[in-house]
Chains A and B, each alone.
Chain A
Amino acid sequence: MKYIITILLFFSFQTIGRESGQTEITTDDGIEVFNKEKYYLLKTNVKIISDEYELNADLVKAYFKKDLYDITRIFSDGNVTLKSSKGIKASGEKIDFNLINEDLQIFGKNSLFINNELNMTSDKEIKINNTTGNFKINGPNSRLKTNKIDITGYLIEGKFTQLANVSEVELLNVEDETQINIKTETLDMYAIRAEYDKKNNIIELFDNVKILRDNESISGNYAKINTLTESYKVTSKESGRVKVLLNKTDE
């Protein structure tokens, strides 16, 4: 009898496999289920594969509502990578994913989030809400890059919209104690803080402002740039003077 059960279990282990609509989780070091606290720990070399996403991590804490299948939140720790069928890629030391409100938080050095052509990196944390489009990139080496714009700063927060497979930045606030940088196809902008609102197509730069375009360099304390016409106005609050440098070209 012992051998029959062992053989049956062996074969069921061999034949267990994910069908469409199911989620398959494998671990090297077991699962610890805490029924009272309503979570389970997946330990060592964890792989979660479903129709929508694929997640790999060293350790995963999965919170559930009613039963084990009813997952509400996944907290992953150690070498975490997440891929979704909708083109989302994320990686970091830790990833906290709330499946109810679609809140994704990535922590640690080399944190990365890619949503089609929207690319976010940081050495501390990235927070994105897939429902509202709100995001926050915080910490050293924080960067937001799309096909049209490249932004660096200690804190980059705002909102993006998703149209088909195109992610577009709608609202933006960038801060850094030393310097932020915003690069478009034609402009290279520096300041301590910047704000952008897609509704009126205006970028505002605050403190230690410097704008570079072709061979032109303009410095001041405040700048207002129209992203459609690419015209800008630079002012200096303290001295009332704006410094303009025009470099000679070979022609």
Chain B
Amino acid sequence: MNNFLKINKKTLLILLFFLSVIFLVTVLFKQFNITSIDESILSIDPKFDIIKPSFTINNEKEKISVSASNGNFLNNNKILLKNNVFFKSSSFTILSDEVTFDKKNQTAVSESSSKFKSEGTEIISEGFSISENGDIILFNGKTSLILK
């Protein structure tokens, strides 16, 4: 006699029920997990208005890309960029911690420690400002410049 014919019908139903429950629990858990991750992303820091903002400053010679981890709108034109603020062009990069970027005037001002790097040049300053579409860069306070 076939062994499968020996299985009790009631036992089979219970087994099927448990398998269905496990399947449903797994599916629901996964769905719940995705929702919670999405919610955690949105709730990283409600203090910031923008996550990973990026802009560009254009002048005659080059384009300067501006990016940061977070940002807050100060008014219609000014944005306070925070954490990992990068200014990158074909010829230089500037890293700072906090920069106020003016979209309208295409200017940037920082009073935090800043590091500038270009070919053969490294500048560490107590802050910086970019004006005239990147043609004028001012490094503030005690400043150290290494020329290689």
Contact = CB atoms under 8 A, between A and B. Distances in A.
Interface of A: 1-2, 5-6, 9-10, 12-13, 16, 18, 21-36, 42, 67-71
B88 interface: no
B122 interface: yes
Nearest to A27: B143
Interface of B: 61, 69, 82-84, 91, 95-98, 112-115, 118-126, 132, 134-148
B124 A67 contact: no
Contacts of A10: 113
Contact of B134 (A22, A35, A70): A35
Contact of B146 (A1, A22, A31): A22
B94 to A, nearest CB: 11
Contacts of A21: 148
Nearest to B61: A35
24 contacts: A2-B97, A6-B112, A6-B113, A9-B95, A10-B113, A12-B115, A25-B144, A26-B142, A26-B143, A26-B145, A27-B145, A31-B123, A31-B145, A32-B136, A33-B136, A33-B139, A34-B135, A35-B134, A35-B135, A67-B91, A67-B118, A67-B120, A69-B119, A69-B121
A26 B141 CA distance: 10
Contacts of B141: 29-30
A34 B82 CA distance: 26
B113 A18 contact: no
Given A1-B69, A1-B84, A9-B114, A69 B147 contact: yes
Contacts of B84: 1, 5
A89 B23 CA distance: 87
Q: Which of A1, A5, A24, A32 has the most CB of B within 10 A?
A: A5
Contacts of B135: 34-36
A74 B133 CA distance: 26
Nearest to A7: B113
A85 to B, nearest CB: 17
Contacts of B119: 67, 69
A9 B115 contact: yes
Given A16-B124, A31-B123, A33-B138, A22 B148 contact: yes
Contacts of A30: 125-126, 138-141, 143
A26 B97 CA distance: 22
A6 B144 contact: no
Given A2-B97, A2-B98, A6-B97, A16 B146 contact: yes
A116 B137 CA distance: 40
A51 to B, nearest CB: 12
Contacts of B138: 30-33
B82 to A, nearest CB: 7
A135 B38 CA distance: 76
Contacts of A6: 97, 112-113
A5 B125 CA distance: 14
Given A25-B146, A27-B143, A67-B91, 12 more contacts: A5-B83, A12-B115, A23-B147, A24-B145, A30-B143, A32-B139, A33-B138, A35-B61, A35-B134, A35-B136, A68-B121, A68-B147
